[in-house]
Each structure stands twice: as C-alpha cells, then as structure tokens.
Amino acid sequence: MRLLIECSFVYHHPHFNMGIQRVVRNIVSRIDKFQDIADIVPIIFKNDKIYEVKKIKPDSRIMLFVNLLHYRIGLYHKKRYWIYYRRIAAHGLFHASPNLRKVLLILLKLLSVFFNIIYHAVSCFCEKREVGKRIVEITIQSGDVLILLDSSWGISPYFIDKINDMKKRGIIIVSVIYDLIPLTHPSFCSDGHVRSFQHWFEWISQTADGFMTISKTIRDQLQSYICSSSSEVPGLHQRFDYFYLGSELDLVENDESVRSKVKTFFHNNRSVYLMVGTIEPRKNHGYLLDAFELLWQNGLNVMLCFVGKVGWKCSSLIKRVKTHDEYNRRLFMFNDLTDTELEYFYRESRCLVFPSFVEGFGLPLVEAMQRGLPAMVSDIPVFREVGGDFVAYFELTKPEYLAALISEFENSGEFSAVQKKRELPWLTWDDCTKQFLTKIKYHVVALRNNVSITRIVHPSINIDNK
C-alpha cells in the first residue's frame, strides 16, 4: 500500500506558519519514522505532473530569502495591497486628498504585481533546478491512496480532473477537513474563499472515499452535513474519522534569540493575558477588548496582548487597537513573532484567553495547556472536547462573563477550572502522525474489504488521552 500525501501549498510556501501549514509541515516531516505502517510518499501537483517531494525546505538560499520576504510582507495574498492602502490612506495628506489616495492605490497595485512577478520568476528558476533533487516525478500505481492533507480547495481545475481520473482507476481518495467554517459561518471568511471552498466541497463530498477531521466535533458535523445532502444510504461508501493535533512549536530554534522588545514586555510584573491567532472576525478579538475595558475601568491593572498575523475583515479592529488609550500601555499587539518568541510568551504569560466563535480544533489551546498555562475559552463544543475540565469557560453573550473570571483569578489566585492538574499528556506531533496514518490504513483496508461500518476507531490508538 502506498499513501500519497499531497502538500502542494506548503511546498511552495514553506515559511507559512498558520494552523493548516503547521499541521501539514509536521506530518510530512515525520513520515520517515512510520514507513512500517505503509509506503508513505509526500507529493505535489505541479506543471500537469505529480512529483514526490524529497525535501520541503528549498536548497537555494535565494529561494529561501524570497520565500521569507514574500511571507513576511504578506504579498502571497492577492489583495494584500488593500491592507497597506487602508493603513496609509488613513493618515496625513492621503486622508485629506481623494486624488492622492487614487495614486497610492495604483502604486501599491503595481508594486504588488511587480513583486509577485519577481517572486514567481525566481520560484520557477529555482524549482526547475531542483527537479530531480528536491522533487522527482512519479506515476500513479494501482493500489495507491491519495490523501489530500493540504489546503486542497486551492488545487487547479486541471488536477481536479486528474484526481477524478485517479478515482475512476480505483485509487482511494481521502480528504482532511479542518473545519466547515466557509459553509457554516461564511460571514467570517472572505467572499473569494467562501466561493472556492463551496465549489471544492461540493466536489470533494461526492469524490472522497473517506474523510479525516481534526476533532470529533468536526467529524460529526461533517458526517451529518454530507449524509443529509446525499441521496444514498449514508455510511455505506464513505468513512469518517478524526485525529488530534500535536502541541510542540516545531520552528523553535535553540540558538535563536528573543528580541529585547519581547523580553521587556514582561518586566513590569503585571499579569499578561494572551490571545494567539490570526486577527480575523471569528477569533472575536473585539469581545476581549470589551472585557478588558471593563476590567481597566474597575481598576484592575492587567495587560492584554494579541499575537497573530493581520488577516481579513479586521481593519476596524486594528484601528480600534492602535488608537486605543491603552495601546502600548496595557494593550499590545505583535504580528511577527517567531516560534521561539511565541514559546517565550506561553512561558511568561498569566493566562491564555481564547474567545473564538467557531474553531476546527484550536491549536493555541493545546499549546498553552501542554505548557501548563491556564486557559479561559469560549464555551463552544470543540473547546469542550479538547479542553475538558482543565480550562475555564465563558459565554459570548456578554463580555462581563470573561471580566468576572479574570477578576476572580486575579483577586483569589485560584483558577476556576474543574480540575487543576497543570501537566497534561497531550499528543506530540509524532503521536499525531502515527494516529493519522494508522487510522487511514485501517479504513483503507476496511474499504477494500467492503466492511460497511461508518466509524472505526483503531483499537491500538487511544484518542481520548486528555
């Protein structure tokens, strides 16, 4: 049995470090340890061909530099220039002159196009030199299993046709679903992402033989969603299962220093409440700010820090933060932390606060819990599943609920979770990878043997390990 793990986006953007990319990178980097489970091959779709990936990280120093620059300034996002435009246009002469704003927008568009042309030209040049070294062309074989681990809703229509042909040839297709947010909460996503995800999901829900999700909550939601829209008897031809994610920060470098501005942030002996995640609507940063404004009004001298890249539909929030009276006093925002610096934040902060409306899993929650950092989270099903009795929950109807939790914690020193155990046996990325691959193999064998059951949990893997 050969498991082909698709990782096209991470291959082309190795410095991306958001949730999905962290999962893909960690699993792909560990597959050599689990070749006893199956013949596991990371692959990408490129130039109408399928390539085996020998190495995720580019060999070329030029390519490494261009990838890092592309990631740091955010031009991988086609409309990123809008963010820069809004930031600049709100100040000085640009704010007062519509004509200057038009000129600014045109210049930023041109710069964005120019940089992307340079980026893609350098990428093509470097990657052509790496064919045969970093990637090697392969052919599909009978008995292969294609696992769509990466953000496969971005795959080109050509490769969708290619996957359909693979399906006709009897290749088993397994799709990893991280969440259904573009379907269930489209207002939290960009319009373009909603359209592409909906189109892709309509196809994959009818094409995949099996699905792996990153939590039981999402597995049940996905199974219900697909079965309710299918005219066939549910469960006879598709499998649904889930796995849990690891908790290490894999890009921590032992010889990498923490910047002085990060260290001095913790020198004032005030409690730091930490929010980690891309700044976007579903993360609900505004609720946190509402709660902390209540605390500050009541004289509680605590600090709130947002850590994460600036995302979409958040310009009003960013403006609110940067014009706030407490900005850089008791309200802070870091958009460019390394994993080493994030590890430092987890170690030095008082508590994680995580008020998301909806999540597929919640990596910051397990990252915090694994390090013994208390966590206060919104009362949503997936956090109940992942956090159990070891975290404190609050309702999202009123910021007063979170403010009361924090006040009690600060005044009494007692954290309000049901269980106080600080060291939890959370999965490592090795455990996650083994669980993921073992379950897929188990389901593939069942599919090939026509075993008609909808839920199989491999007996050697304990997934309820909190």
Share of the chain above pLDDT 90, in %: 53
Question: Residue 163 — very low, low, confident or very high, per pLDDT cuts 50/70/90?
Answer: very high
Distances, alpha carbon 435 to alpha carbons 59, 173, 359, in Å: 31, 18, 21
Residue with tokens 């609110």: 320
Higher local confidence (pLDDT), 423 or 58: 58
The structure's pTM equals 0.83
Confidence label for 386 from pLDDT (cuts 50, 70 and 90): very high
Both tokens assigned to 49: 């061909």
Which CATH class name applies to 260-412? alpha beta
Q: Do domains 2-58+134-246+431-448 and 260-412 have the same CATH topology?
A: yes
3 state SS of 266: helix
Closest CA to 374 of 391, 389, 398, 362: 391
Indicate the domain borders of the chain: 2-58+134-246+431-448, 61-130, 260-412
Q: Which residues contact 21 (CB under 8 A, 6 or more apart)?
A: 9, 10, 13
CA distance 315 to 298: 28
| Summary mean pLDDT of the chain | 85
DSSP at 301 = -
CA atoms within 13 A on the CB side of 19: 18
In sequence order, the β-bridge partners of residue 43 are 6, 52
Separation CA 100–CA 60 (nearest Å):
40
CATH 3.20.20.70 fits 2-58+134-246+431-448, yes or no: no
pLDDT in tens, 303-337: 999 999 888 888 899 999 999 999 999 999 998 88
Mean of the pLDDT values across residues 25-44? 94
